[in-house]
Structure 1
Amino acid sequence: MTSPIRPGSHKALASIFIAATLSLPGCMESSQDSAPEQAEETSSAQQPPGTIQADKQIDQTRYNVANQCYLLESNGQYLNADAQAGRYGVTADRASATPFYLRPTALGSYLLVTDYRRNSGEIGEFDMLGISDPAGEFLDDTGTFIGEVSYLVAGLGDTTNVVLDPIAPLGSAVRAIGESLEFLGDQLAETDVNPALSMLAQPSDLGVWQLNNVDGDRFSLVSQVTGLLLGVRDNQLTLVSPSLADDSNQFELTKTTGCPGYPEAELSAEVLDKQGPANYLKEVDRFRNIQGIDQDDVFGFVDTHSHVSAYEFIGGRINYGAPFHRFGVTHALKDCEANHGPWGATGFVELATTGIGLHDTQGWPSFNDWPRNNSLQHHQSYYRWLERAHLSGMKILVNHLVHNEVLCAINPQKQNDCDPMEAILLQIQRMYEMQDYIDAQHGGPGEGWFQIVTSPGQAREVIGDGKLAVVLGIEMSKVFRCGEFQGVAECTREEIVERLDKMYQLGVRNIFPVHKFDNAFGGHLPDLSSGVGIGAVLYGGNMLETGHPVEFEQCPEEVEYTGYEPDQNATLQPFGLVDQLLYQIDYLGDRFPETPEELADMDPRRGTDQLCNRRGLSDLGDFLIQELIRRKMMIETDHISRKAAARILALTEPLDYPVINSHGGWGGTEALRDRIAAQGGITSSFGATRGDWVDKLTRNGHRPRNDRFKVGPFGGSGFASDVNGIAQLASNPGTPEQEAGLYPFTSIDGRVRFDKQRTGDREFGLYDGRGVAHYGLYPDQIADMIRNSDRDPAQIDDAVNQLFTSAEAYLRMWERIENAPL
């Protein structure tokens, strides 16, 4: 199953331009209409690729050779590695041929990895075929190509093991093009770069090859940075222009063994059932005989609120790390010093919000200090960690693209555009790149377990194929650039429609009208955090963004009951100047000392614990809600003032149009959340620990609602991770004895066994002081809740049932939105 929009692998502009100039054959193939069945999960993160064998022989494609071991042969000549000389060559003796591991960097692109450093004892010590960089000018310290293609191609023409004489005239033209592209990096001038085919010790763009089907099961290999084809001529390994390509530039790939394992985070999970984890409730014993459970009801849970793409938000250097990297975990989670300085000294958000001071910045392979549950500036949703949670039963992941323009502007650590639309477009691009990357690891477009969906029907198809349905949403303070200053909107209705249409076309189906700051659509729900922490920072940010402080009032009780529709032209009597000033001071978070009990009656701040934003939904806010309804998009009511939330419910209720409270307390009061449930919407809370999590799941699952909104007897209660959203994941109590009794454990459906998760040299558990250190520990957290909660066993069972019916509940809610009358 593929998404409606699947951008191809995103290459460097220089590579695309040169490839086009040289008429490179075998362009990226278009997406398939439907995906083949998902490959069976493996228990090893570093599975020896030579042992991966297909159950039956299938035709090779440029995609399905991924993460497997091959001999490369052209006209009877095999590629081999000369370890002593540190170079690659060819041999006619198959016994002397070198096995190559094809590690995807993107769809159809690979590192050609060999294992001549395996005896060093170092994980990740291997070699690969690529282009040399003797002058040290072509790459930055991440392995990204920043040199000039024209100089590289010209230099290759001077090497003895490359056949390029006929390309000389074309090389001059390419040189001229390269000199005009200033963004490619510093000019090499007269530097004698003299690059050649080489044995690379580290992955880089110089080692990336595009694999293209040429003739049946024969392939060409094209250097990504030069556009030149690998070949074998006169018993030498060569590079030639595409215009000179012949059968000496065609290779057969023969599956073999003996390749190295490529470094990767482990799943630490074994699929016990050949059919894989359950997709439907009827496949699980605990649901099989429950009345009201249908055959096609989805088994599993939904994370209603995550920020997988937040590594690019508010400037792109706040959250260190990434959910994927073309060169794998060694680059995605390497060392946070790149963003946070030596010993993390410039990790200001973490210092301000959690008190975590200096720390060891090293990530892979030791992870001495991060990730941890309360480490807010380190990425916690690497794709293999997400995959582990998927194996435990996660069927839907809602990823909210997140941004705040003011925080970006004042952030000294940034590399991305602070413009709200540009920031969101970049994160959308990254999500499709992540989908493509995971597809590449699993054999081609649509083959990966991570699939972006745009409708509930498409989500059901993806889940039915054993994959994770990913929904894109937007949570940002200045949605569609629609801020306000001194009450004046910074956008028009026409601009709202244009920008909303663009987001819809790109696959976004979920919108927060308001987040953290007042904007042109309405007032926000104030952050009442105590202390001089993020609450005070956001308060100041609202002042900068809007030109006014939060305007408080005593919380109106009338928004608490169904049927209330506020008069958009009515306002409550303003507070006096002194009262409003006291509300502002109390809100700032730098709280006054506790009032002595004997003076409590004289305390002028009495009642300020019931603060509400006076701003409701604006006329433009009403317009936005109507446009979202017209497009059948999901509406989030978190972070919005109680007045505005009540207005949204009043607009949607007559249409039988459900709305969402995706992460607990940010949705206002319990009464508002009850109204959302009664209207057929989703209410979720943050993932917690043990008894507290049981209480949250059962409370949300049993909110009053019509029977037609239930999954059999269950309301369905997902959870919100808010991962990477400057929010702590769950901590966890525990003892060594409890840890010893937890592992190994099996999933709720009994089809997957989990051991303690390992990434690099570190094992991550729940009881080492780090809690839910990363997303891959949610399976462990569920198991811990079941084993160690002090709640009644029947209540624990109910909580588990509510959680694992939440994916079906979410889909039914989405289907009601699609079927709502306009």
Structure 2
Amino acid sequence: MESNYRSVPRLRTLTAALATTLLALTGCIGGDGEPATPATAVPVVGGEQNGVNITRQPAITRYSFANGCYLLESSGQFVAAAPGAGGYTTTADAGSATPFYLRPTALGSYLLMSGYQRSSGETGHFELLGISDPAGEFLDAGGSFIGEVSYLVAGLGDTTNLLLDPLAPLGSAVRAIGESIEFSGDQLANITVRPALAMVDSPSDLAVWQLNQLGEARFTLASDVTGLLLGVNEDGLGLVSPPLADAGNEFRLTAASGCDSYPEAELNAEDLSGEGPAIYLKDVDRFRNVKGIDQDDVFGFVDTHSHISAYEFIGGRVNYGAPFHRFGVTHALENCEANHGPWGATGFVELATTGIGLHDTQGWPSFNDWPRYNSLQHHQSYYRWLERAHLAGMKIIVNHLVHNEVLCRINPQKQNDCDPMAAILLQIQRMYEMQDYIDAQHGGPGAGWFRIVTSPGEARQVIDDGKLAVVLGIEMSKIFRCGEFLGVAECTREDITERLDQLYQLGVRNIFPVHKFDNAFGGHLPDLSTGIGIGPVLYAGNLLETGHPVEFEECPEEVEYNGGEPDQNADLQPFGLVDQLLYQMDYLGERFPESPEEMAALDPRRGTDQLCNRRGLSDLGDFLIRELIRRKMMIETDHISRKAAARILALTEPLDYPVINSHGGWGGTEALRDRIAAQGGITASFGGTRDNWVDKLTRDGNRPRAEQYKVGPFGGAGFASDVNGIAQLAANPGTATDEAGLYPFTSIDGRIRFGKQRTGDREFGLYDGRGVAHYGLYPDQIADMIRHSERSPAQVDDAINQLFTSAEAYLRMWERIENAPL
């Protein structure tokens, strides 16, 4: 899939660089090297988007026009669509003017859409004000600008000559450089490539405009690709260089009506209260009379384990789709053939993990085959789907940046660097870009509902503002590039502190010391899922990464400690070769189907799944845990060997420092999970269905813990979606009768009414065989659990209470970490 932001040369960049040089020569640059224009404040304005009220300040800024309908006027002339006259012209009659829908592509940049039409099953036809690409050479398949440097440089020389007359000799010099790169003038074959205005029929970089503020209500519109300004002149509408701008390049945007809406996934959520979702427990009837509850505690749930940014992992072409795209859903979720080949034939991970073979690759607008609960190579957390879950009460989501270097290197389909640090840094960049994009849709910096947080105090403030607190974590096998080969660490203590500090500065607050492979910090928890799937692949990957197979032992009942310190040599006595081979055979054998009954006597497998990794926490692992404690970071104990997890608990318990088991059985044994809860940590399980989910929530919420670790009478039990993490979401049972009885439903606080979620032409429900097909169906899943669980009403009620106190429980856990003594 095409990345949201490409690192490719753009004419805009070249123009900006040259313009800086030219303006410096003429004294138009301030002493600090910045353009000598006054700084613009960025307050935000008010409005409503897709039925959800947005509270903003009244000042008008360049961000204020997001997803609104406006007329463009300059010097008494209005812009009007004119398909037969180059796309657009001007008129003095406001009644003949064309209203434009301003769709943000980023903060301060917009698509100017004069029309959008489509029939069912069609992607749709856009009418966008942009510049022409007559040679078909400026764009790639995703609409990103990739014009060849030769004719771009030469064309820049033309622009300089044409528009900066005093500096024409310099323009000629630039043209000469361009021509020296095998370019011969303004013509490419018989087609003129000089930029000209046009009506563009699909979103692309050629249709993106930077809206820049001149005064209280005066703006310029600069082409994102060329840097040239839109303006009215005696011939109608045209482009001009910024140094030659005049009053004809100053626009006023007047609110209008009659615009077609830009295509987008729907929320299908109606605010019944006029106040948005509840924030505190006191705002919800079911909690008002519960003894022991602090009524100012946060009402809502936490997803302790997600992978929003996983579309960039393992090389960036394993998963198809993205949580956002500057051109919207039509590009974010378009057609997975780009990654998975015709009919999904190269979607190897999905075939290996779920057995799903060929499939219809079409996404928007029909979504014939995907997303679905068990379609593991298709993105399931598009930002509007996340927003729908937020409206249902999700207050915190933990996004684990995820990667596996070995799987990336053996993957033939990739576009990203396989280096562990590079992969994680790219995903961090994407998360901040996503935050900015959502801000842009809602009116400016800080205006969006999606906020990355770095402390529990900041998280509480974000939640108080009615927004979703997003925590960045890391779940990868070779974190900090600290692998091991044949027992020799591939990093030093200095490497660890340097890279940990870098990630901390970028906002990471949650760390898995170990993931799917052994590394320099300790042993991993083997994948004990049965059946043909990812287990054998990971087993082989560990062998490639470390130079040795997993070293198994029979699992002890519990790792014993003397005075809080483990005997690091316990159970590390070397096994005989035959015994170790039998353990390997047991493990690999359990990944495949059982032998037929008549052949059972000949099967050499012993059939045990009670196999543990002999490797505990290494000396470097001890060092890492102490460094995480020193920085007050959250420590995840999932995926690490039982021996190593017990050691982490021994290190943190004397400090009253809680740790986390964020996704169920990957935390090892129930005894270990009980110890985590007793120490004030969070234990969460995968989101399930009906009785299964009730049981998980009540079990995790009611684990033995001291009163100071509870939210009133509730322990608080979040859930783990593991969305986009090569993990299935919930496969929901149900019938047409169930569906008829579910929709519409209201949120737990009674403030939001939900209908069936629609994206494009597809209505997504729980009972069409796709289950929780995407993240936006978790509100439906909660409602289904309440209505259709066969557990007692008291058990269901307890499960819901545990879920909707989990955000507060998570915040209290994080606050205890911050207050822990060093």
Q: What TM-score does the superposition give when structure 2 sets the normalisation length?
A: 0.92
What is residue 581 of structure 1 aligned with on the other side?
Answer: 581
Aligned residues with identical type, % of pairs = 78
Q: Among residues 11, 19, 24, which one is paired with 1:22 in the alignment?
A: 19
Residue aligned with 1:763, SS:
strand
RMSD: 2.9
Residue aligned with 2:548, SS:
coil
CA offsets per residue over residues 90-125 of structure 1, 9 Å max, x none? 111111111111100000000011027579996642
What is residue 48 of structure 1 aligned with on the other side?
Answer: none
Cα separation, partners in 2 of 1:604 and 1:319, compared to 1, 3 Å:
closer
Tell me, in whole angstroms, the C-alpha distance in 2 between the residues paired with 1:30 and 1:82: 34
Cα separation, partners in 2 of 1:459 and 1:174, compared to 1, 3 Å:
farther
Residue aligned with 1:504, SS:
helix
Q: Which amino acid counterpart does residue 781 of structure 1 have in structure 2?
A: Q
Tell me, in whole angstroms, the C-alpha distance in 1 between the residues paired with 2:375 and 2:432: 27
CA offsets per residue over residues 435-486 of structure 1, 9 Å max, x none? 0000000000110000000000000000000000000000000000000000
What is residue 782 of structure 1 aligned with on the other side?
Answer: 782
Could you tell me whether the CA contact under 8 Å between 2:385 and 2:774 is conserved in 1?
yes
Residue aligned with 1:737, SS:
helix
Residue aligned with 1:696, SS:
helix
- Pairwise CA distance, 1:208: 0.5
What is residue 770 of structure 1 aligned with on the other side?
Answer: 770
- Pairwise CA distance, 1:556: 2.0
Residue aligned with 1:22, SS:
helix
Residue aligned with 2:214, SS:
strand
Cα separation, partners in 2 of 1:392 and 1:91, compared to 1, 3 Å:
same
- Pairwise CA distance, 1:428: 0.3
Tell me, in whole angstroms, the C-alpha distance in 2 between the residues paired with 1:22 and 1:131: 20
The range that moved more, 802-811 or 113-122, is 113-122
- Pairwise CA distance, 1:148: 3.9
The range that moved more, 659-668 or 602-611, is 602-611
Matches within 5 A, 1:459-478: 459-478=459-478
What is residue 551 of structure 2 aligned with on the other side?
Answer: 551
Q: Which amino acid counterpart does residue 204 of structure 2 have in structure 1?
A: S
CA offsets per residue over residues 359-402 of structure 1, 9 Å max, x none? 10000000000000000000000000000000000000100000
Give the length in aligned residue pairs. 798
Could you tell me whether the CA contact under 8 Å between 1:157 and 1:163 is conserved in 2?
no
CA offsets per residue over residues 576-618 of structure 1, 9 Å max, x none? 2212111111212454745979998x98754732100000000
Could you tell me whether the CA contact under 8 Å between 2:132 and 2:195 is conserved in 1?
yes
Q: Which amino acid counterpart does residue 347 of structure 1 have in structure 2?
A: G
Tell me, in whole angstroms, the C-alpha distance in 1 between the residues paired with 2:514 and 2:228: 51
Residue aligned with 2:386, SS:
helix
Q: Which amino acid counterpart does residue 619 of structure 2 have in structure 1?
A: D
- Pairwise CA distance, 1:719: 0.2
Could you tell me whether the CA contact under 8 Å between 1:322 and 1:332 is conserved in 2?
yes
Matches within 5 A, 1:22-421: 22-23=19-20, 42-43=50-51, 58-115=58-115, 124-148=124-148, 151=151, 169=169, 171-172=171-172, 192-421=192-421
Residue 636 (str. 1) matches residue 636 (str. 2): yes
What is residue 47 of structure 1 aligned with on the other side?
Answer: none
- Pairwise CA distance, 1:297: 0.5
Tell me, in whole angstroms, the C-alpha distance in 1 between the residues paired with 2:41 and 2:582: 59
Cα separation, partners in 2 of 1:333 and 1:280, compared to 1, 3 Å:
same
- Pairwise CA distance, 1:304: 0.2
What is residue 658 of structure 1 aligned with on the other side?
Answer: 658
Could you tell me whether the CA contact under 8 Å between 1:301 and 1:806 is conserved in 2?
yes
The range that moved more, 764-773 or 82-91, is 82-91
Residue 812 (str. 1) matches residue 820 (str. 2): no
Q: Which amino acid counterpart does residue 18 of structure 1 have in structure 2?
A: T
Q: Which amino acid counterpart does residue 759 of structure 1 have in structure 2?
A: T
Q: Which amino acid counterpart does residue 211 of structure 1 have in structure 2?
A: L
- Pairwise CA distance, 1:247: 2.2
Tell me, in whole angstroms, the C-alpha distance in 2 between the residues paired with 1:432 and 1:568: 42
Tell me, in whole angstroms, the C-alpha distance in 2 between the residues paired with 1:263 and 1:361: 20
Tell me, in whole angstroms, the C-alpha distance in 2 between the residues paired with 1:564 and 1:71: 72
Q: Which amino acid counterpart does residue 330 of structure 1 have in structure 2?
A: T
- Pairwise CA distance, 1:30: 9.3
CA offsets per residue over residues 523-568 of structure 1, 9 Å max, x none? 0000012223200000000000000000011112232899753123
Could you tell me whether the CA contact under 8 Å between 1:18 and 1:227 is conserved in 2?
yes
Residue aligned with 2:708, SS:
helix
Could you tell me whether the CA contact under 8 Å between 2:9 and 2:146 is conserved in 1?
no
Cα separation, partners in 2 of 1:665 and 1:120, compared to 1, 3 Å:
closer
Cα separation, partners in 2 of 1:193 and 1:675, compared to 1, 3 Å:
same
What is residue 4 of structure 1 aligned with on the other side?
Answer: none
Residue 434 (str. 1) matches residue 434 (str. 2): yes
The range that moved more, 77-86 or 751-760, is 77-86
Q: Which amino acid counterpart does residue 530 of structure 2 have in structure 1?
A: S
- Pairwise CA distance, 1:86: 4.8
Structure 1 unaligned segments of length 5 or more: list them: 1-7, 45-51
Residue aligned with 2:437, SS:
helix
What is residue 454 of structure 1 aligned with on the other side?
Answer: 454
Could you tell me whether the CA contact under 8 Å between 2:408 and 2:414 is conserved in 1?
yes
Could you tell me whether the CA contact under 8 Å between 1:616 and 1:641 is conserved in 2?
yes
What is residue 5 of structure 1 aligned with on the other side?
Answer: none
Cα separation, partners in 2 of 1:567 and 1:366, compared to 1, 3 Å:
same
CA offsets per residue over residues 284-326 of structure 1, 9 Å max, x none? 0001121222232000000000000000000000000000000
Residue aligned with 1:424, SS:
helix
Could you tell me whether the CA contact under 8 Å between 1:372 and 1:774 is conserved in 2?
yes
Q: Which amino acid counterpart does residue 618 of structure 2 have in structure 1?
A: S
Tell me, in whole angstroms, the C-alpha distance in 2 between the residues paired with 1:211 and 1:551: 60
What is residue 609 of structure 2 aligned with on the other side?
Answer: 609
Q: Which amino acid counterpart does residue 748 of structure 1 have in structure 2?
A: I
